[in-house]
Structure 1
Amino acid sequence: MNGQARSGAVLSVDLDALAANYRTLSTMAGPGRCAAVVKADAYGLGAGPVARRLTEEGCDTFFVATLGEGLALRAMLADDVGIFVLNGIPPGAETEAVKANLVPVVNTMGAIERWRREARRQGAPLDAAVQVDSGMTRLGLSKEDVLTIAGNPDLLSGIRPVLFMSHLACADEPSSPANMAQLKAFRGLRSLFPQIPASLANSSGIFLGREYGFNLARPGAALYGINPVPGADNPMRPVVSLKARVLQVREVGEGVSVGYGHRYRATRDRRLAVISIGYADGWMRHVDLGAIHGKKCLPLAGRVSMDSITVDASGIPPDRLREGDQLDLINGRQTVDAVAAAAGTIGYEVLCGLGQRIAREYVHSHGN
């Protein structure tokens, strides 16, 4: 029995659409290069299959969040593929990172000193990306730290900086003055280290203009079909679709209540379909969306349960919807961004939240 048969729902990942999105982003990021962010298991899509397909498109640089993610990805990719660890290397794990040819993103003076000590132990310079805070106030060296290093280059002795980077806070809001403020701040800090390749643009940052591109762009969500320009047409191809199996079709009469809390009450005779997905699979409890059958939207009937949802399928003839059929929850019509809007969140959380009970399959649309 294959994984799909064992699961109540299947997430399909179109690797050709993923590759097409990478090509689009690479063109927009030019003349700089384009990396790929595959943290959180490639936003839930599967870091191994995603990264391998992107390497076929020429991507040779990937970003993960943690050491564990980096070690897992290294086992899947060739040694000459660059893997950067955004959260840096935990104290005491530096030697393990060196053995796996992982490059830390150093963002504190302490992290710099620990990596310097490791370089001394190794007897050779070690690559690192230097992250600065340009206005997001999350991770990164402060302006004072950067000025201190610029005034005392020995603080980087033993470290070979291969990237000077920061992260945009408001890139998905093109009119926000924070974008230009961060660009100016980043340029000012980078001017102290002009010889180091620079990176600022994330997915949405690529769409702010070429001045944000520098030497390396770091898209993540846009690769996976999430709209990088909210409020405008999505320039990316859809990459994922989600289907769930029908567990039961039943007829109920007027006045019958459905689900926890009896939130739904039939106003007339209804045909209901119970579908095998719930909040234990990452289908959030407050998603007020049903399913898609062909071109018809089947509204939610009652609350999302742990292992199932119920939809009103009254508009579907009995012979067109049966136990074992599959209904669409994410597709070209009901997109990841639409599901996110219905849940009051963002597409990132929708994808990252889809659990491991959902089977993954990898397909090829062969689209250009």
Structure 2
Amino acid sequence: MAMPMPSEPVSTVTSKTIASANTCSATPPDHAPAPTLTIDVGAVVANWRLLCARHTGETAAVVKADAYGLGAALIAPALAAAGCRRFFVATTDEAFALRRTLPAAWIAVLNGCPPGLEADALAHNISPVLNSLADCARWQAAARKSGRRPSALLHIDTGMSRLGLDAAECATLLAEPGRLDGINLNYIMTHLVAAEDPNALSNQRQAAHFAAIAARFPGIGTSITNSSGIFLGPNFATDLARPGIALYGGNPTPHAPNPMRPVITLSAPILQIRAINAGDTVGYNASWRAGRPSLIATIGVGYADGLPRSLAGRLTARHHDRVIPLVGRVSMDLMTFDITDNPDLTQGTPLELIGPGHDIDAIAAEAGTIPYEILTSLGRRYRRVVKSV
């Protein structure tokens, strides 16, 4: 079964299309070949359930950056229907948008509440992460003004040196616990620096540091594990896990086979096939020269669609089990592939860029980046096909 994805150009597996307010006024008819991003919502739910089974505490879902580019309005309700009760986003704007989708869910903002938006956050029942003593003071003042006891999370920096209370602020707070009076502190949290590396010494150091501070907050829930942290073992089990990339099919254990189900498939039809002679060049700056008479297939996807220029000379596409190399530069809207050894391919034949045989981790490795960047960069020009739970 398929379902439409809000605010995106969508095709479903039942060949139904809807218009998109975010792009053009009409979508291509279903029979028109178009680059297609297929999102398996059932796989996201299955991944969340797998993570729940591995983590002894509760497992939330990180749906920041529009659910890593796949659509929070699509992903979050499916996870909520499966039993997920807690969601994390990065910004208050994301939180307000998610609140419209999930009126009753617990929603936390990792970046905290910006000054001046406290009343709005309270009105929308948003839980900010308190990343500094100044954050604590502003949220406490908002609580007093509202006459309510609003919820929040307290972030302790144990090594990331990014957000969170540093050692000096933490010492001040421990000496003056009244700075949290009037706040319903749901969780104390930290963020692991290198959870994807089970041998990283920083993991144990951070866990020990965090445990020592958490002990000073008896009765308050703890949260340390991200996607990879869930796989570090029982010493890293806390009251609330915050997985992100693993929900969307990224490998949380890069040292081992991926335990997660793939979530997306990206394919694009061949627009044109050109026969060229040995010695002819392809693409900008003549960066690739044919060493033999060759067949070059062009597809309508480029760096404007989230496939970075660094893929030049590295990306491989798939057609069934056949591997087809990218040749020449990645341009804004086009890429060219050498199909000389696959002369049966024709105009309209889809080439798979991301899929079960070549997942987001594989294409990220080819691009010299991480799967997070690939997912969150995928553009808005794809026809989106949604597989429902």
Tell me if 1:249 matches 2:273: yes
- In 2, the alpha carbon distance for the partners of 1:250 and 1:290 equals 19
Question: Would the alpha carbon gap of residues 86 and 218 (structure 1) be closer, same or farther in structure 2, given more than 3 Å must change?
Answer: same
Rounded Cα–Cα distance in structure 2 between residues aligned with 1:317 and 1:177:
52
What's the CA shift for 1:333? Answer: 0.9
Residue identity opposite 2:181 in structure 1: S
2:4 is aligned to none
What is aligned with 1:121? 145
Q: Give the structure 1 partner of residue 69 of structure 2.
A: 44
* 2:191 equivalent in structure 1: 167
Which deviates more from structure 2 when the two are superposed, residues 294-303 or residues 196-205?
A: 294-303
Report what 2:41 is aligned to: 15
Q: Give the counterpart letter for 2:288 in structure 1.
A: Y
Secondary structure class of the residue paired with 1:89:
coil
Aligned partner of 2:55 in structure 1 is: 29
| 1:164-196: CA deviation from partner (whole Å, max 9, x where unpaired) | 100000101100110000000000110110211
Q: Quick one: which amino acid aligns to residue 142 of structure 1?
A: D
For 1:31-110, list aligned pairs within 5 A.
32-79=57-104, 81-110=105-134
Q: How far apart are the structure 2 equivalents of 1:178 and 1:293?
A: 42
Q: Aligned ranges for residues 214-293 of structure 1 at < 5 Å? A: 214-287=238-311, 288-293=314-319
**CA shift digits 1:13-50 (9 cap, x unpaired):** 111111111111001111x0000001111111111111
Q: Indicate the residue corresponding to 2:325 in structure 1.
A: 299
Deviation at residue 145 of structure 1 after TM alignment: 2.1
Q: Is the 8 A contact 1:28 1:210 kept in 2?
A: no
1:312 aligns with one of 332, 335, 338: 338
Are 2:207 and 1:183 aligned? Answer: yes
Structure 2 partner of 1:209: 233
Query: Does 2:324 align with 1:325?
Result: no
CA distance in 1, matches of 2:212, 2:382: 46
Give the conservation status (yes or no) of the 8 Å contact 1:7–1:357. Answer: no
SS in 1 for 2:327: coil
Partner Cα separation in structure 2 for residue 35 and residue 316 of structure 1: 46
Tell me what 1:192 maps to.
216
Residue identity (%)? 44
On the 8 A contact 1:240/1:331 being kept in 2, the answer is yes
Q: TM-score, normalised by structure 1?
A: 0.95
Deviations 1:288-308 (A, max 9, x none): 213111111111111101101
Q: CA deviation at 1:7?
A: 8.5
Report the AA paired with residue 221 of structure 2. Answer: P
Q: SS state of the match for residue 299, structure 1?
A: strand
CA distance in structure 1 between the partners assigned to 2:28 and 2:356 by the alignment: 21
Cα offset, 1:8, TM superposition: 4.1
Q: Secondary structure at the match of 2:267?
A: strand
CA distance in 2, matches of 1:4, 1:235: 36
Query: How far off its partner does 1:147 sit?
Result: 2.8
Task: Kindly indicate whether the alpha-carbon contact (under 8 Å) linking 2:33 and 2:348 is maintained by their aligned counterparts in 1.
Answer: no
Task: Indicate the SS of the match to 1:19.
Answer: helix
The C-alpha deviation readout for 1:101-127, integer Å capped at 9, x for no partner, is 111001111111111111112111111
Select between 120-129 and 137-146 the one with higher mean Cα deviation.
137-146
Mean alpha-carbon deviation: is it higher for 330-339 or for 4-13? 4-13
Structure 1 stretches of 4+ moved >6 Å = none
Q: In the alignment, is the contact (CA less than 8 A) between 1:4 and 1:10 conserved in 2?
A: no
- SS of the equivalent of 2:152 reads strand
The match for 2:179 is: 155
Q: Distance in 2 between matches of 1:339 and 1:70?
A: 30
Q: Deviations over 1:226-284 (max 9, x none)?
A: 01011211111111111112211121122211100111111112111101110011100
Indicate the SS of the match to 1:286.
helix
Paired amino acid for 1:16 = G
Alignment-mate amino acid for residue 309 of structure 2: R
Q: Give the AA of the match of 1:243.
A: S
**Could you tell me how far apart the structure 2 residues matched to 1:175 and 1:236 are?**
21
- Return the alpha-carbon distance in structure 2 between the equivalents of residues 172 and 136 of structure 1: 14
What one-letter code is carried by the residue in structure 1 that aligns with 2:268? Answer: A
Match of 1:143 among 142, 167, 175: 167
Cα distance, 1:358 vs structure 2: 2.3
Equivalent position SS for 1:237: coil
- Looking at structure 1, the residues matched to 370 and 40 of structure 2 have their Cα atoms a distance apart, in angstroms, of 21
1:251 is paired with a residue of what secondary structure? strand
TM-score, normalised by the number of residues in structure 2: 0.90
The count of residues paired between Structure 1 and Structure 2 equals 361
Q: Is the 8 A contact 1:7 1:359 kept in 2?
A: no
Give structure 1 stretches of 5+ with no counterpart: none
Cα distance in 1 for partners of 2:202, 2:33 equals 45
